[in-house]
Structure 1
Amino acid sequence: MSTLPPDWRFKFMGSDTSVAHVNKSASVRQQVKAGKLDLMYIPSNMSTAGQEMISRFLTNQWLYETVLAPAEWLLMYQTDSMMCGNHKGTLDEWLDYDWVGAPWYLESRYGGNGGLSLRRVSSILEVLRHQQRANNSDPEDVWLTERLGHLPNSRTANGTESLMFSGEAHWYDYPLGYHTGGSGEWLVGGIWGTPEKRNHIYKYCPEMKLTLKMDTKNVYPTATQLNRILAFEVAPWISSS
């Protein structure tokens, strides 16, 4: 919320349990009261349990016509993605596109991973009003971008352009955000494969650490280790006095 332009609103859709859990936060309740955030329930006849069910959910015409109306753009960000507060640009600079997400291939004419993606609702609706995704077929982002890429008058970011939007498999120094995979477990070598690259990301986009499975023992010292560090640091001062 602090990174995106101020006129963007947010929706959290979940189960009874997850909505109740999120609503325990005083800051969340404050954003709801201010009209910045909506807490909604996923209908009982729908599910997001697993990739296939997520694909069915995100290719459902009802979602775009009813839940998201009257929004024209949808920013999807999963728990393994993050928008970088240090980025000098804004999300609004990408509103000319019907779809932009981390490129699967730099040579791609269209497409991009849906884990962190910007989508034009009206263009997706145009696809869904004429075509229906077959169950257990392509993932929703592959299925939608293939059709958006051939939709008359649509504009989808190519591999070179989308590289600047989201870092996932191909390196770019300062993308708008990052997406990993597997809730922070799938780290592609082209982005995370060297200490130099990891340190660059941690400095440029430190909030990305929130999405990663990090061994806190290697980051924060234990009480015993801390006592040893303090003893080492204090002892010379004591002896010299």
Structure 2
Amino acid sequence: MERKYGVERFTRPSFTEDTRKVNFPDGRPVEDAHECLPSLSTKKVAVLVEMRAHLDWVYHVMHFIRTLDDDWPFVIYHSNHNEHMLRSNAELQPHIQSGKVQLHRLNTIFPTSESISQLLTHAPLYEALAPADHILLYQIDSTLCAASPLKVEDFFKYDFVGAPITHTDDETPLFNGGFSVRNRNAMLHVINNERPFDHPDNEEKYEDRWYSMTMAKSNHSYKLPTAKEAESFAVESRFHPLPVGVHRPRVYLPWFAGAERVEELLRNCPEGDRMPDKRGGRFVPCLNDPNSKDCVKSSK
């Protein structure tokens, strides 16, 4: 059953533990946003998949809204755990009402990295985001550096780019998907034409490593950056003084670049120290019914 809240649409499907059975809401959120607010682009979209209820990450979303150009539409795939928090937030409400932010409740949760990887290798996710050519996928442990001289759009020439997680330039570049630009059609080409993510011989259990390796080794000419080129897009474990964004900068960068480099980066990009959870979030207890079958307990 579909209900309307303001100008955006979402459905209330039943809960499922099988990510492959996620039912995406009717309508196309990018087209819906443009119909509500014609100044919004249909060629790009910022996407967050977040099932947890944590007020701080709403203000984190607002940082993306303020920092990206005004023509970016936003799609947030959420759960029943955080629906009220999203819809009742005073800062976010005007953007929901205008159509700039499209809220879509999914009928599942993602308690593990493996489950979110299933979603991000699921063709209906990318099909639902048509006609956008470029997707900025971000998580709440990543953020934009407002002072960067570069823009997300500068990396639209690549089919997939994220923070490089390889440490020598002679390795096959691997990119972290937690803050990444993805060409929507390229993602669908990989899903539909390469060996499937869930193939028994697939050694990569994380979607970003799978995309990186599959695209690099494919006979198809995917457009990928070198690790050096990707440094200026995002930093996780390879240093760049002022990238477009950062992903968990205090977790791996100290090991590979040293504490002084971390502090230099965060002086240039102080947003990296203002994320809701700099080390990656945990699921919080259900705010509605703790005994519900789809309520996730806090991890220890």
Superposed CA RMSD: 2.2
Measured in 1, the distance between the counterparts of 2:73 and 2:242 equals: 25
- Corresponding residue for 1:170? 238
Contact in 2 for aligned 1:89/1:176 (Cα 8 Å): yes
Of residues 257, 264, 269, the one that matches 1:205 is 269
- Unaligned 5+ runs, structure 2: 1-64, 279-300
Measured in 2, the distance between the counterparts of 1:30 and 1:135 equals: 44
- Corresponding residue for 1:34? 98
User: Does structure 1 residue 119 correspond to structure 2 residue 182?
Assistant: yes
Measured in 1, the distance between the counterparts of 2:265 and 2:190 equals: 36
Contact in 1 for aligned 2:138/2:179 (Cα 8 Å): yes
Q: CA deviation at 1:32?
A: 1.1
Letter in 2 for 1:93: D
Contact in 2 for aligned 1:111/1:157 (Cα 8 Å): no
Q: CA deviation at 1:127?
A: 1.4
Larger % of helix: which? Answer: 1
List structure 1 segments (4+ residues) > 4 angstroms apart after TM superposition: none
Q: CA deviation at 1:199?
A: 3.3
- Unaligned 5+ runs, structure 1: 215-241
User: Does structure 1 residue 64 correspond to structure 2 residue 126?
Assistant: yes
- Corresponding residue for 1:139? 206
Change (3 A) 1:213 1:138: closer
Change (3 A) 1:122 1:146: same
Measured in 2, the distance between the counterparts of 1:118 and 1:82 equals: 13
Contact in 1 for aligned 2:253/2:262 (Cα 8 Å): no
Letter in 2 for 1:167: V
Letter in 2 for 1:126: H
Contact in 2 for aligned 1:19/1:40 (Cα 8 Å): no
Q: CA deviation at 1:147?
A: 2.1
Measured in 1, the distance between the counterparts of 2:101 and 2:207 equals: 25
Question: TM-score of the superposition, structure 1-length normalised?
Answer: 0.78
CA distances 1:180-237 after superposition (whole Å, capped 9, x unpaired) = 17xx6x343157732x3343233211111122768xxxxxxxxxxxxxxxxxxxxxxx
Of residues 143, 157, 171, the one that matches 2:225 is 157
- Corresponding residue for 2:89? 25
Measured in 2, the distance between the counterparts of 1:81 and 1:94 equals: 17
Aligned residue pair count: 207
Q: CA deviation at 1:6?
A: 2.1
Match of 2:111, SS state, is: coil
Match of 2:147, SS state, is: coil
Change (3 A) 1:90 1:151: farther
Change (3 A) 1:117 1:4: same
- Corresponding residue for 1:232? none
Of residues 65, 69, 78, the one that matches 1:5 is 69
Which has the larger Rg? 1
Measured in 1, the distance between the counterparts of 2:238 and 2:190 equals: 29
Match of 2:92, SS state, is: helix
Measured in 2, the distance between the counterparts of 1:134 and 1:39 equals: 29
Measured in 2, the distance between the counterparts of 1:167 and 1:151 equals: 29
Structure 1 range deviating more: 9-18 or 205-214: 205-214
Match of 1:156, SS state, is: coil
Structure 1 range deviating more: 109-118 or 22-31: 109-118
